[in-house]
Amino acid sequence: MIGEPILEVEGLDVVIPLLAGTLRPVRDLAFAVARGETFCIVGESGCGKSLTALALMNLLPRRARRSARRLRFAGTDLARLDERRMADLRGDRIAMIFQEPMTALNPAYTIGNQLEEAMLRHRRVSRAEARDRAIFLLEKVGITAASSRLRQYPHQLSGGLRQRVMIAMALMCGPELIIADEPTTALDVTIQAQILHLLAALQREFRMAVILITHDLGIVARVADRVAVMYAGQIVETGAVADIFARPMHPYTQGLLRCIPVPGRTRRGAHLGSIPGLVPSLMGELAGCGFRNRCVYASPPCAAGGIGLVPLSPQRAYRCLLPPRECAANAAAAAAP
Amino acid sequence: MTVETFSGAERILEPSAGALLRRRVFGHAGFMIGAAIILAILAAALLAPWLAPHDPYAQDLTRRLVPPVWDAKGSWLDPLGTDQLGRDYLSRLLFGARISLLIGFSAALISGLIGTGLGLCAGYFGGRVDMVASFVVTTRLAMPVVLVALAVVALAGGSLHIVVAVLGLLLWDRFAVVTRAATHQVRQLDYVAAARATGCSTARIILAEILPNIMNALIVIATIEMANAILLDAALSFLGLGVQPPLPDWGLMVAEGKEYMFFSPWVIAIPGLALFTLVLAINLVGDGLRDLAAPENRN
Amino acid sequence: MLAFALKRLALALLVALTVSIVSFSLLRLSGDLAQALAGPSATAADVEAVRKAYGLDQPLWVQYLAWARQALHGDLGTSFFFKEPVAAMIAARLPVTMTLGVSALLFALLVALPLGILAALKPNSWVDRLALTLSVVGQALPSFWFALMLMILFGLKLRWLPISGTASWKSFVMPAIALGYYGMPTFMRLTRAGMMEVLASDYIRTARAKGLRAPAILLKHALRNAIVPVVAVAAVQLGFFLGGSIVIESVFALHGVGYLGWESISRADFPVVQAIVLVLALFYIVLTLLADLLNAFLDPRIRVG
- Is C247–B240 a contact, with Cβ atoms under 8 angstroms apart? no
Residue in chain B nearest C250 by alpha carbon = B239
- Is B143–C277 a contact, with Cβ atoms under 8 angstroms apart? yes
Cβ of residue C289 closer than 8 Å to a chain B Cβ: no
- Supply the CATH number for residue A67's domain: 3.40.50.300
A310-313/A209-214 β-pairing? unpaired
What is the torsional sign of CA A29, A53, A173, A200? Answer: positive
Which residues on C lie below 8 Å from A121 (Cβ)? 210-212, 216
- Residue B243 forms part of a structural domain: yes
Residue C146, H or E segment: helix C143-150
- Residue A90 forms part of a structural domain: no
- Is B148–C23 a contact, with Cβ atoms under 8 angstroms apart? yes
- Residue C80 forms part of a structural domain: no
The pLDDT of B123-143, averaged and rounded, is: 88
pLDDT at site C296: 82
Q: Which residues make beta-bridge pairs with A7?
A: A33, A73
On the 0-12 / 13-18 / 19+ scale of CB atoms within 10 A, A235 is buried
Whole-complex ipTM: 0.87
C100 lies in the same domain as C170: yes
3-state helix/strand/coil string of A127-178? HHHHHHHHHHHHHHCCCCCHHHHCCCCHHHCCHHHHHHHHHHHHHCCCCCEE
- What's the gap in Å between the CA of A254 and the closest CA on chain C? 35
- Residue B96 forms part of a structural domain: yes
Which residues on A lie below 8 Å from C299 (Cβ)? 107-108
Is residue C210 within 8 A of residue A169, CB to CB? The reply is: yes
C104 lies in the same domain as C31: no
Please enumerate, as own/partner, the contacts of B41-49 that have beta carbons within 8 Å and a separation of 24 or more: B41/B97, B41/B101, B41/B277, B41/B278, B41/B281, B42/B101, B44/B94, B44/B97, B45/B94, B45/B95, B45/B97, B45/B98, B45/B101, B48/B91, B48/B94, B48/B95, B48/B97, B48/B98
pLDDT at site A276: 77
Cβ of residue C159 closer than 8 Å to a chain A Cβ: no
Residue in chain C nearest A60 by alpha carbon = C205
d(CA B65, CA B61): 9
* B2 three-class SS: coil
- Residue C88 forms part of a structural domain: no
* A320 three-class SS: coil
Cα C39 from chain centroid (whole Å)? 32
Partner residue opposite A57 with nearest CB, options C209, C213, C300: C209
Which residues on C lie below 8 Å from A105 (Cβ)? 203, 206
- Residue A291 forms part of a structural domain: yes
| CA-wise closest residue to A89 among A12, A175, A154 | A175
Confidence of residue C45 (pLDDT cuts 50, 70, 90): confident
d(CA A17, CA C192): 25
Confidence of residue B2 (pLDDT cuts 50, 70, 90): very low
| CA-wise closest residue to C103 among C173, C181, C171, C162 | C173
Confidence of residue B298 (pLDDT cuts 50, 70, 90): very low
C43 lies in the same domain as C125: no
Mean pLDDT, chain B, whole residue set: 83
- Is A153–C305 a contact, with Cβ atoms under 8 angstroms apart? yes
C30 lies in the same domain as C128: no
pLDDT at site C1: 63
pLDDT at site A68: 92
C196 lies in the same domain as C141: yes
pLDDT at site B299: 38
- Is B239–C247 a contact, with Cβ atoms under 8 angstroms apart? yes
Range of the domain at C222: 93-304
| CA-wise closest residue to C298 among C230, C218, C252, C204 | C230
- Residue C121 forms part of a structural domain: yes
C53 lies in the same domain as C166: no
pLDDT digits (tens, 9 = 90+) for C176-232: 999 999 999 999 999 999 999 999 999 999 999 999 998 989 899 999 999 888 998
Range of the domain at A9: 5-84+213-335
The pLDDT of C228-257, averaged and rounded, is: 90
Is residue C77 within 8 A of residue C55, CB to CB? The reply is: no
- Residue C41 forms part of a structural domain: yes
Q: What is the CA radius of gyration of chain B?
A: 24
Is residue B263 within 8 A of residue C120, CB to CB? The reply is: no
C60 lies in the same domain as C174: no
- Residue B21 forms part of a structural domain: no
pLDDT at position C37 over 80: no
- Residue A164 forms part of a structural domain: no
- Residue B19 forms part of a structural domain: no
- Residue A29 forms part of a structural domain: yes
- Residue C244 forms part of a structural domain: yes
Confidence of residue B12 (pLDDT cuts 50, 70, 90): low
- Residue B6 forms part of a structural domain: no
d(CA C256, CA B203): 49
Which residues on B lie below 8 Å from C277 (Cβ)? 143-144, 147-148
pLDDT digits (tens, 9 = 90+) for C147-178: 998 888 888 777 777 777 767 778 888 899 99
Of C72, C101, C126, which closes a domain? C72
- Residue B14 forms part of a structural domain: no
- Residue A74 forms part of a structural domain: yes
d(CA C48, CA C40): 14
pTM passes above 0.90: no
pLDDT at position B83 over 70: yes
- Residue C135 forms part of a structural domain: yes
Q: Which residues contact C243 (CB under 8 A, 6 or more apart)?
A: B143, B144, B145, B146, B147, C280, C281, C283, C284
d(CA A2, CA A9): 17
C65 lies in the same domain as C98: no
- Residue A222 forms part of a structural domain: yes
Cβ of residue B161 closer than 8 Å to a chain C Cβ: no
pLDDT tens, residue order, chain A (337 aa): 456 889 999 999 999 998 888 888 999 899 999 998 999 999 888 888 899 999 999 999 888 999 999 999 998 999 889 999 999 999 999 999 999 999 999 999 999 999 999 999 999 999 999 999 999 999 989 898 999 999 999 999 998 899 999 999 999 999 999 999 999 888 888 888 888 888 889 988 888 999 999 988 888 988 999 999 999 889 999 999 998 888 888 888 888 888 777 676 667 777 777 777 777 778 777 778 888 888 888 888 888 777 888 888 888 888 888 888 888 888 777 666 5
Which residues on C lie below 8 Å from A153 (Cβ)? 300-301, 304-305
d(CA A244, CA A262): 15
Is residue C11 within 8 A of residue C17, CB to CB? The reply is: no
- What's the gap in Å between the CA of C2 and the closest CA on chain B? 21
Of C39, C72, C105, which closes a domain? C72
- Is C225–A98 a contact, with Cβ atoms under 8 angstroms apart? no
- What is the total count of domains within chain A? 1
Q: Which residues make beta-bridge pairs with A212?
A: A40, A180
Quote the Cα angle for A162-A164-A170, to 5°.
105
C151 lies in the same domain as C212: yes
Partner residue opposite C205 with nearest CB, options A98, A108, A169: A98
- What's the gap in Å between the CA of C247 and the closest CA on chain B? 7
- Supply the CATH number for residue B179's domain: 1.10.3720.10
- Supply the CATH number for residue C268's domain: 1.10.3720.10
- Amino acid code (one letter) for B31: F
- What is the total count of domains within chain B? 1
- Residue C77 forms part of a structural domain: no
- Residue B56 forms part of a structural domain: yes
Is residue A231 within 8 A of residue A247, CB to CB? The reply is: no
Cβ of residue C116 closer than 8 Å to a chain B Cβ: no
